[in-house]
Chain A
Amino acid sequence: MATPPAAVRPGPWMFFTADEAALIEAAVDRLIPPDHRGPGGKDAGCAVFIDRQLAGPYGRAEGLYTRPPFMPGAATQGDQLPDAPAARYRTGLKALADYIKSTFAGKSFRDLAPGEQDKVLKGLESGSIVLKDVKSAAFFALLLQNTQEGFFADPIYGGNREMAGWKLVGFPGARYDYRDWVDRHNEPYPFPPVSIMGRSDWTVRE
C-alpha cells in the first residue's frame, strides 16, 4: 500500500546551512524573479522545496543504480556521477561561495546587485565560470531544474506557495474532473486552482 503524501512542515532548514540557504534563496529569486504577475522563487518557497527534497530520498538518490564502476561515457548514456543530489549541492554551493568571495572582494551571493547575480548565474549556465572540482553548467542545470520543480509542484512539497506557479500559467491543479469543460472550446476555465490539501481560503480563520 502506498504511503499518502505528508505535507512539509514549516520551520528550520533541514538540509541547508544558514549560509547555503541565503545563497539559494537569493538565486531562486533571480531564476524566477518577483513581478506584477506574482511572487518570485523565494516567496513561492522554492528554497524550502529544495531543502526538503535534499533532506529526503531524492537527496540520497534512493532507488537509483549506484554501483561502481563510475566511468565517463557519451552524453546519450546518461549521468554517471557517483554523487547523490545532496552531495552535489553541498560541494557545488561551497565552490560557488568560494568563487564569489574571491571574485567580489569577500562578498557573498546575496550581497551582490541583481544584475551581478544574473551575470554569475549566466556564467554558471554557460560553463564560463569555472568552479573548483564542480562542473558549473551541470550544477546550474540541477539548481534550475529543482527550482522550477518547486515552483510548479503541488504546494504540499513546500514550494508553489499559494499555488503561485499554477496561477502564473492558469493550471487548475488537482481538480481531477473536467467532464463539463472538455468541449467548451475557447472558454477560459473559470475556477481557481486547488492543491492536494485544498486551498487556504477553505481554512476557517479565527
Chain B
Amino acid sequence: MVSKTITLTNAQGFHMRPAGVFANAMAKYKSDITIKFNGNDVNGKSLMNIIAACIKCGSTIELVCDGADENEALQAAIELIESGLGE
C-alpha cells in the first residue's frame, strides 16, 4: 500500500467533470484507489462517490493505492491532480 497527501488546485475542485476524468483514469488500474478526505474514505474509481464527497478547490486529500500496480496508480493519480484534472 502506498499513499501521498496532495492539495487540490484546480478551480472547480472535484466537480463532475474533473471527478469523471479522475475516476475513468483510475478505473484502468487493478489496485483499490481510496481518497481520504474529511475523515471519510472515498472510492477513487467511482464518479458518484467522488462527487458526493464534495471536495473543493484548496482541499488537502490523501491518496491511498493498494494492489498489484499501486505505484503506477499513485503516480498517475498525482500527475492527474497536479495537471489540474483536465481543466
Check if A and B associate. no
Q: Which residues of A contact B (CB under 8 A)?
A: none
